[in-house]
Amino acid sequence: MDPSERKLLFVFVREALAHPGEDHVQTGKRNPTTVRALRSQGYILADEDSLTAEAFLAYFETFEELQCPPAVQKWVDRFGISNLHWRRPTGTIKDQLPQERGKAYALLSTAFIGGKAAIPTWFHELGHLVFPRIDKEKVSRLSAAAKQRYPVVSSDDVPEALDPNTMRPVRLPKGTYLKLNGQFYGLDHSGPGVDAENDEIWAILFTEYCGGFEFPTNIRTMLEEIITSLAAPEPQQSS
């Protein structure tokens, strides 16, 4: 990829990232020769103006790679995840991080960890990364049980909360929150819809589980059932 192709590709990716969930790009006003080159290299689909996974991964490779903390790596290994990348965000991606903490791209096996993130953020993003592998019925039952057990509140009702890192009051961004273990966890971060909310609730509960929080028996049982389903099979010993 020559410099002009690389420059245009990254412009396209940044435009797509600025609109979460979108991979469509406007190619009509761009240099047609460069656009054709990007299509031929597999960065733009041949029959429509949409970016491929390879386009996003090429852009992600420009970000600093982070060393996964050992406590989190144990869970990565337990889930049998390979080719997982943890990166430090800048620019467009950093602007999208809630309170400069983290953001996961599950289908691209990449999570960005912000400068203000602590270990719980790593667990939270790992939860998002494995979410597509979870049975939808199981996670729906878990989500329903969590919402029945713990308060779901609006930022209109609770305008401020303590920042878990600084322990200072901060204004809650507009949205819906699950109050758990003295914290307000946003339920809107993964987008609209039931699946997105279930994604957030699973990541929240998984984070607290890894931190040693004591859940009621029913929620703990459902969590551990999902965790068991995610675990990589034990290697068979040769006889």
The reply to whether 236 falls in a domain is no
Residues 135 and 222 in one domain: yes
The boundaries of the domain holding residue 110 are 70-230
- DSSP label of 150: S
Residue 112 CA to its chain's centroid (Å): 8
Residues 74 and 44 in one domain: no
Residues 48 and 97 in one domain: no
Residues 171 and 123 in one domain: yes
The reply to whether 65 falls in a domain is no
Residues 213 and 100 in one domain: yes
Residues 78 and 8 in one domain: no
| Calpha distance 99→162 (Å, rounded) | 13
The reply to whether 43 falls in a domain is yes
Residues 100 and 207 in one domain: yes
| Calpha distance 153→177 (Å, rounded) | 5
What tokens appear for 172 in the block? 């809650």
Residues 123 and 45 in one domain: no
Domains contained in the chain, number: 2
Residues 212 and 97 in one domain: yes
| Calpha distance 120→97 (Å, rounded) | 15
| Cβ proximity of 100 and 76 under 8 Å | no
Residues 114 and 216 in one domain: yes
Residues 16 and 79 in one domain: no
The reply to whether 149 falls in a domain is yes
What is the pTM assigned to this prediction? 0.89
Q: Which long-range contacts (CB under 8 A, 24 or more apart) does 131-136 make?
A: 131/106, 131/198, 131/199, 131/202, 131/203, 132/106, 132/107, 133/230, 134/202, 134/226, 134/229, 134/230, 135/226, 135/229, 136/195, 136/198
| Cβ proximity of 116 and 100 under 8 Å | yes
DSSP E strands in 74-139: the ranges are 85-87, 102-105, 110-113
Query: What is the sign of the dihedral through the CA atoms of 165, 199, 57 and 30?
Result: negative
pLDDT (tens, 9 = 90+) of the chain, 239 residues, equals 899 999 999 999 999 988 877 788 899 889 999 999 999 999 999 889 999 999 999 999 999 999 999 999 999 999 999 889 999 998 888 887 766 689 999 999 999 999 888 899 999 999 999 999 999 999 999 999 999 999 998 888 876 776 665 667 777 778 888 999 988 888 887 777 899 999 999 999 999 999 999 999 999 999 999 999 999 776 555 44
